[in-house]
Amino acid sequence: MKKEYFSKKFRETENEWLKLDKQKGHIGNLRLLAAVIAVVGLGFWWKQSSILGAGLLIIGVVSFFALVRFDGRLNDQVRLLEARKTVLKRYLDRYDNGWYQFSDTGEEYLDESFTNGIDLDIFGPRSVFQYINIAHTMHGRDLLADALKGKFMNDLAARQECVAELAADLEGAVRLETVAQKAMGGKLGERKYVEKFLQSLRRRDENMAVKNALSFVLPITTVVAIIGAFLGMMDAKAAVVLILLQLFLSLNASAAVKEKLDMLYEMYRPLEAYSQLVKVLAEKNFKSPYLQKEVAKLQNKGGAQEGLRKLSQISGMLKMQNSLLYLPLCGLLMWNYHSLRLYNNWCEKYAKETEKWLEAIGNFEALYSLAMIKYVKENSTLAEITETKAPYLKMSKAVHPLLQESQAVANSFAIDGGLAVITGSNMSGKTTFLRTIGVNLTLAYAGGFVCAQEFAAAEMRLMTSMRISDDVSRGISTFYGELLRIKGMVEYAKMRRPMLALIDEIFKGTNSADRIIGAEETLKTLNKPWVLTLVSTHDFELCDLANREGIKGINYHFEEHYVEGNLKFDYTIKPDRCRTSNAQALMRLVGIITDEQN
């Protein structure tokens, strides 16, 4: 069982973390001992024996700084293990409802033009994006969102090959997410700084010659003035004036310079993440041509690993703002301007390749995310997608990816074009069935794994009308909102391109007479050789469409049963129309109808 694998890895990581944490405690005690030895040595040197005291002092100081350095490395390992624990815990959370609490829901990708994202819970709270995403970088998240929106269908076969290869590298996925988690802590606020960074790469700073000259001339002049004042050869006022001038220029830079410096300062965490991600990817030996091509992008111009490491160091220089040394560095060395000079030199060498690097790194995050279903589900497969004018769908033992696998009921279903009218009582599983198809097809078109034993479909436009709400600001009612969705399907059908339409409770926002008339006309209009329509309804009258001349249609249903008077569902789709209703039983269950009222 895959859950046991993650549980085991989590326990191993936690035990390793506890050992290192205990070592950190020992190192802290040894540092204190080294400090005591240094103080005792200083006392001996001062009062009694200079040789013994000097020896103890040297031993204490050297030991102290050696332990500080060792503690730093140990602390880095501890942080990495803490990040790994967080990542493994997320994998375990995917086996229950713990993943509902993942902070990254992808809500910003919800778009009115992509109604599937709302209807099928592709983005937002409790969504597909929230469940499968391991990306921490802006590019990784954007590319995963684009994949789920079907923007890479032209490369589907190549992307499936990549995802299949990455699915066999679970530890690689865990490690990739771990280093990003360590660097960024799961925070998502880097977008505006990354965007400013990319903009700055495209704009040249025309005044750098003056700034470069000042960054050298002023510090050299200031140092000369300080030495001259110390030797009594110059008035100390000159050194003071030069120090104050450097402080003024450093701390009161122009708006453009200040914006660039602030951007570099805030880029420290994202750059550390990108740098570490490249390091992890550089260790891999990928077989897929597509992945090899992405890795090749990271090796141009000396390589992303070297370039991003250098840029991370430049950004780290601005982290001195948090140090007591910052003002002296600005007053003596024009620290900010040196950082800016180094950044511009860096841009001269790496600017043209940087965006390609970041996109390649993000693409790996997105592709690993699309393998998530394989990592955590027992029943999964890559879909067989065929480019054909005749729409079809065939799936075996398919379940909704966001349901707990131990509780989900699998359904097998096959249809070769035409219309499927799905009837059934309330809560019997009609809507979940439609979403099972829609969500799995969305993952399939993204190149990812689906939750099924077998899954095959034509390459077709997926359009939905399922979760519709009114829009008061635009004066759109729920019913009118559904009309707009259906109109979009009808208009697309005129283009004679393969389409799958998923319609839940068609025209539920109006009276039964108008609903049935409107639904019949709509479904007849959509009944084209290039359109596959699945519609759920409580209106049994629509079942008669399947028997009408000129209509290619078939009826399916879900049903309930009773065990000792209790309402039960098997959530299994069956041929033919539904013959039962449970509305009154449900009303009794919640107390709206009582036996006394009958």
Torsion of CA 512, 514, 518, 521, to 10 degrees: 100
Q: How many CB atoms lie within 10 A of CB 499?
A: 21
**DSSP symbol at 476:** B
- Its sign, for the CA torsion 433, 438, 442, 447, is positive
pLDDT at 308: 87
CA distance 464 to 445: 15
Annotate 482-501 with DSSP letters as a single string.
HHHHHHHHHHHHTTT--EEE
Tell me the C-alpha distance between 490 and 492, whole Å: 5
| Amino acid identity for residue 348 in this structure | E
The single-letter DSSP state of residue 410 is P
Element (H, E) at 574: strand 574-575
Annotated domain spans of the chain: 2-98, 191-372, 381-597
What is residue 99's DSSP assignment? G
* Single pTM value for the model: 0.87
Residue 547, pLDDT score:
86
The residue type found at 484 is: L
Count of all residues that appear for the chain in the document? 598
Beta strand residue intervals within 466-551, DSSP E: 499-504, 531-537
- CA distances (Å), 524 to each of 358, 507, 508, in order? 49, 15, 18
- Residue 412, H or E segment: strand 411-415
Cβ within 8 Å of residue 326, ≥6 positions away: 320, 335
What is the predicted pLDDT for the residue at 24? 81
For residues 246 and 135, what is the distance between their CA atoms, to the nearest angstrom? 42
Question: Can you say how many angstroms the Cα of residue 426 is from the centroid of all Cα atoms in its chain?
Answer: 35
pLDDT of residue 546: 86
Alpha-carbon distance of 445 to 447, in angstroms, equals: 5
| Pairing mode, strands 560-563 and 566-569 | antiparallel
pLDDT for 556 = 94
Q: Which helix (H) or strand (E) holds 49?
A: none
Query: 232's torsion region: left (phi>0), alpha (psi -120 to 50) or beta?
Result: left
- pLDDT reported for residue 475: 45
Q: How many helices (DSSP H) and strands (DSSP E) are in the chain?
A: 21, 14
| Domain topology for 381-597 | Rossmann fold (3.40.50)
pLDDT in tens, the chain (598 residues): 899 999 999 999 999 989 988 888 888 888 888 888 887 777 776 666 677 777 777 887 888 788 888 877 888 898 999 999 999 999 999 999 999 999 999 999 998 889 999 999 999 999 999 999 999 999 999 999 999 999 999 999 999 999 999 999 999 999 999 999 998 876 666 777 888 888 888 776 656 676 777 777 888 888 888 888 777 787 788 888 888 887 877 777 656 666 777 788 788 888 888 888 998 998 889 999 999 999 988 886 568 888 888 888 888 887 777 677 777 777 777 777 788 888 888 888 888 888 899 999 999 999 999 999 999 999 999 999 999 989 999 999 999 999 999 889 999 999 999 999 999 887 788 999 999 999 999 999 999 999 999 999 999 999 999 987 655 445 457 777 888 899 999 999 999 999 999 999 888 877 777 888 888 999 999 999 999 999 998 888 889 998 888 899 999 999 877 776 677 788 999 999 876 655 444 445 545 555 555 5
Nearest-angstrom CA–CA distance, 171 and 183:
18
Under a CB-based contact definition with an 8 Å cutoff, are residues 568 and 428 in contact? no
Tell me what pLDDT residue 227 has. Answer: 83
